[in-house]
Structure 1
Amino acid sequence: MRFLHHNSLGLAFLAAFLLALAGQAVAGHAEFNNQLIADGLVPVSFGAYVTSSDFAVDVTENWQSEYLQFFLYIFATVWLLQRGSPESKELHKAGVESDKDQLVGEHAREDSPRWATVKGWRGTLYSRSLGLVMGAIFLLSWLAQSVAGVASHNEQQLRGLQAPTSWPEYLSSAEFWSRTLQNWQSELLAIGSMAVLAIYLRQRGSPESKPVGAAHTATGVEG
């Protein structure tokens, strides 16, 4: 029970993710087969659908936009500020901050991560590891989206007895950028809205909100 209590946030979102992914697979399979039947083709099994490029491109295009959101936000909030928002650092802390503030090197504590206590490339890498990993996952997801997308696109081309498209051609196509940008714009709007709305609105008990009684101008304060 202690493990569940101490890890309830991550476990709850993992369970919700798996349920949503399963629901997407079921609904996507039904929609895909409806389209095949409308085109006069034979429906596919559930297993064939979830291992298809059509399912892969739908999943990865959402993953890449989510990780892009976090990657940009992690790096942007190092330097960019929003007065009154708990999503922003305090106004005088723009930048990478001092070693003392970040508890690195000789300022590290006994319980600090080991790589936070050393200088050189290991300390530099660890001090930027969160953003780098988020950026790497974004790029890999975007690559997977493009590979699955061109495979899905070419399947549709072959069904219509049309010539397949090469990967470089697909990367410059309207379909690829339409899929990409429709996710990017929604993620950027959501995260910008969160930063601004949290200036004036509150959620009692949430670390994503300021304390209910905090002033609208209070910046970098979490409840």
Structure 2
Amino acid sequence: MSDQKQERGFLRDNSLSLVFGALFLLTLALQAWAGWAQENNDLRQAELDTVSLLHYLTTASFGADVLENWQSEYLQFFLFLFGTVWLIQRGSPESKEAGKEGPESDEDQQVGAYVEHDTPTWARVGGWRTRVYSRSLGIVMALIFLASWAGQSIAGWAAYNEEQLRELATPTSYGGYVLSADFWSRTLQNWQSELLAVGSFAVLAIYLRQRGSSQSKPVGAAHSSTGIEG
């Protein structure tokens, strides 16, 4: 009986990450299936042999399609994390209150003389470790963005040259591809959509509500209330 309670507690306490993790895997699988079907359709039209699903998962085309979305998502997180240190949006629950721009005081951040008994070790010890830890989330988001963007550029380059060879055209160098319209078209169409989503959410959350969500203000909160979550 106690094991069942512990299991229910674990699932409930981690339901947000578990549900989104499951949805991620499901949509990745569906993307792979749809991409495989499209790839084989293109191969048939070119009168070439089709490929298996396992083979398709190893292709540059699939890798480029996946990574170009990942890098734009992590760019969004990175920019939003650092942007909200200094920038505010009056009335938005996604913004700090006016007057709190900047890295805030040690008391606000519970470091230095204001550490508590359950303060993480790197936040407690001070020095370079606390400085790194105080920006660790943004640093990791930036590193994931750069890694996925680099992966996208390499996979996209390989996929582009495969297409060139199919059309009996001359392959291009990596540097030539990174400077090409194809690369920047794929990149910027993702960046602009992520920036639009973040900006519109911050503004819409001023006037609209989602009862019970931590990303929304309480239903009865004033439109001018800033940094308040329901």
TM-score band w.r.t. shorter chain: over 0.9
Say yes or no: does 1:196 pair with 2:181: no
Say yes or no: does 1:160 pair with 2:178: no
The one-letter code sitting in structure 1 at the alignment partner of 2:119 is S
User: CA offset at residue 161 of structure 1?
Assistant: 1.5
Which residue of 77, 92, 107 corresponds with 2:99?
92
Segments ≥4 residues shifted beyond 2 Å: none
- 2:229 maps to 222
Which stretch shows the higher mean deviation, 110-119 or 52-61? 110-119
TM-score (norm 1): 0.99
8 Å Cα contact 1:64/1:139 also seen in 2? yes
Within-5 A mapping of 1:137-148: 137-148=144-155
The one-letter code sitting in structure 2 at the alignment partner of 1:9 is L
**Within 1, Cα distance between the matches of 2:148 and 2:112?**
34
Q: Give the paired residue count.
A: 223
User: CA offset at residue 106 of structure 1?
Assistant: 1.8
Which residue of 5, 18, 42 corresponds with 2:12?
5
CA distances 1:131-175 after superposition (whole Å, capped 9, x unpaired): 000000000000000000000001111111121111111000000
8 Å Cα contact 1:104/1:118 also seen in 2? no
Which residue of 168, 176, 183 corresponds with 2:183?
176
Say yes or no: does 1:213 pair with 2:216: no
Within-5 A mapping of 1:46-195: 46-195=53-202
| 3-state SS of 1:93 partner | coil
TM-score (norm 2): 0.96
| 3-state SS of 2:49 partner | coil
Say yes or no: does 1:30 pair with 2:30: no
Task: Give structure 2 stretches of 5+ with no counterpart.
Answer: 1-7
After superposition, the CA RMSD in angstroms is 0.5
**Within 2, Cα distance between the matches of 1:200 and 1:217?**
9
8 Å Cα contact 1:88/1:220 also seen in 2? yes
**Within 1, Cα distance between the matches of 2:149 and 2:155?**
10
**Within 2, Cα distance between the matches of 1:6 and 1:106?**
31
